[in-house]
Amino acid sequence: MGLAGCVVAGILAGGLSALLTLAVYAAEDSFQRLPIHWMWWPAIGGLVIGLGGLVFPQALGVGYDTIGSLLQGNVTGHVIIGVLVVKSLIWSISLGSGTSGGVLAPLLMMGGALGGLEAMVFPFEGAGFWPLVSMGAILGGTMRSPFTGVVFALELTHDVNAMLPLLVAVTIAHGFTVLLLRRSILTEKVARRGYHLSREYAVDPLEILFAREVMRADVVALPANASRETLVQALRVDPAKGPQRLYPVVDDAGVLLGVVIRVDLQRALDANGANADDLLHSILRTNPVVACPDEPLRSVVHRMAESGLTRFPVVERGPVRRVAGMIALDDLLKARALNLEAERRRERVLRVGFAFPFAFREQPHAGTSGAAPRDLY
C-alpha cells in the first residue's frame, strides 16, 4: 500500500511540477505583453511578493523553517494550503517578472506542502514521510533531475529506508513531466533564446568513425604525364558510379602532386590546340586540401566547413603523400548508415523457439536492410 501511495504521490507531484513550470512562463509571457518598459517588471514582481507576504507571511523568505516543520509533521492545514497557493503564485510571478530568485528551496517547500496534504489522506507511514517523498518528486519532476531529487531528500533526513519510496515517486514525477512538457523549467528559458536543446545523449558517429571506413578507394587518379586519350577516357561516366568530380594527379610512385576538377578538365579538353602536358599544367591545383585515413570524420567535416570544399583526396600520413582514396560530403552519409546499422544489431529481438525452449535465435526488425547510400562517383 505504501508503494502504491508513492505512485500516486509521484503523479500528483508531476502534475504540480507541470503547473508550476507553465505558471512561470505564462507570467513571463504576460509581462512581455504589458505596455510598459521592461525595467518596471521586477518592481511589479516585488509588489506581488509584498502583497503575498501580507496575506500569508510564511510564504516569504527561503522557507527552511517551514520545510523543517513539514518534515516533522508539525504544520497545520491552514499553513499547508497557504504555502501551496500563495507561495506558488508569488514565486511564479516573481520569476516571470525577471526578479532574482531561487528554485531549489521554493520547490522543496511546495513539495513538502503537497506531501502534507497527502498525509491527511494516505496511510500513515511515519511523521514527515509523505512530505519527504513529495519534496523529492517535485524537485525531480520540475528540474528533470530525478537522482538529484532523491539525493537532496536523503540529505535532509539521512533516512536510507526512504530510498525505494523516493525512487518510485521521483521516477513517476519525472516521467509525467517528460511526457507532458517539451522542456523543463530550467531549459525552457534557454530554448526561448533560440538555442536548440535535445533530450538525447548519444555519441556522435562522426567522432568514432574514421575516413578509411567511408572513403572510396576505386577512384580515377591521373598520371602527371597523361596523354589526351587518357584524359578523355577519365571523363567517361560509369553508369554504376556516376561522374567523378575531382581527380588526384599523381607521379609514377602514386604520390599526390595536385588535383584537377572535372569541369576544368572538360573545358580544357574542349579548347583547340592544347597538348596534354600544357593542359594538366594549366589546370592543376598544387596545394589541395587533403584528409588522412586515420582521421576521425569529425575533423574532416570541420575542414570541409572551413575550406568550403566538399571533396578531398585521402593521402597516407607522412612526408610522402601517397593517394589512398577520395572522400566527399556524400560519403559522410555512410557514417550515419553504419551507425544506424550498429544500433539495429543491438536492438534485435530474441525470439524463443517453441520446439527448443532454451534455443534463442536473432530476428532483425522489419525493413532494416542495412544498405549504404549508393556510390555517386
- Please provide the DSSP assignment of 112-178 as one string: HHHHHHHHTTSPP-STTHHHHHHHHHHHHHHHT-HHHHHHHHHHHH--GGGHHHHHHHHHHHHHHHH
Dump pLDDT digits (tens) for 309-325.
Answer: 999 999 998 888 999 99
Instruction: Indicate the range of 81-90, 105-114, 136-145, 191-200 predicted with least confidence.
Output: 191-200
Give the pLDDT of residue 351. Answer: 55
Instruction: Indicate the range of 74-78, 95-99, 179-183, 189-193 predicted with least confidence.
Output: 189-193
- Per CATH, the homologous superfamily of domain 2-192 is Clc chloride channel (1.10.3080.10)
Higher pLDDT, 372 or 203: 203
What cell was used for 44? 511589479
pLDDT(1) > 90: no
Give the pLDDT of residue 376. Answer: 32
**What does the pLDDT average to over 90-103?**
84
Kindly report the CA angle at 82 between 76 and 87, in degrees rounded to 5? Answer: 135
Contacting residues for 50 by C-beta, under 8 A, at least 6 apart: none
Question: Residue 370: what residue type?
Answer: G
- Per CATH, the homologous superfamily of domain 206-333 is CBS-domain (3.10.580.10)
For the chain, domain boundaries: 2-192, 206-333
**For the chain, first and last CA: distance in Å?**
66
pLDDT(292) > 90: yes
Residue 36: Cβ within 10 Å count: 10
Residue 189: Cβ within 10 Å count: 15
Helices marked H in the chain? 2-32, 41-55, 64-72, 77-82, 88-96, 104-119, 129-143, 146-157, 163-180, 187-192, 205-208, 211-214, 228-234, 262-270, 276-283, 297-307, 332-346
318 class by beta-carbon count within 10 Å (0-12 exposed, 13-18 middle, 19+ buried): exposed
CB 212 within 8 A of CB 294: yes
Residue carrying the nine cell digits 591545383: 285
CB 290 within 8 A of CB 313: yes
H or E stretch covering 200:
none
Give the pLDDT of residue 17. Answer: 92
Give the pLDDT of residue 316. Answer: 93
What cell was used for 130? 509523505
> Strand 349-352 vs strand 360-363: parallel, antiparallel, or unpaired?
antiparallel
Which residues, listed in sequence order, are joined to residue 328 by a DSSP beta bridge?
A: 311
pLDDT(239) > 90: no
CB 259 within 8 A of CB 288: yes
Higher pLDDT, 350 or 226: 226
DSSP secondary structure letter of residue 75:
-
pLDDT(370) > 50: no
Give the pLDDT of residue 354. Answer: 44
Dump pLDDT digits (tens) for 151-176.
Answer: 888 887 788 888 899 999 999 999 99
Give the pLDDT of residue 366. Answer: 43
Give the pLDDT of residue 176. Answer: 92
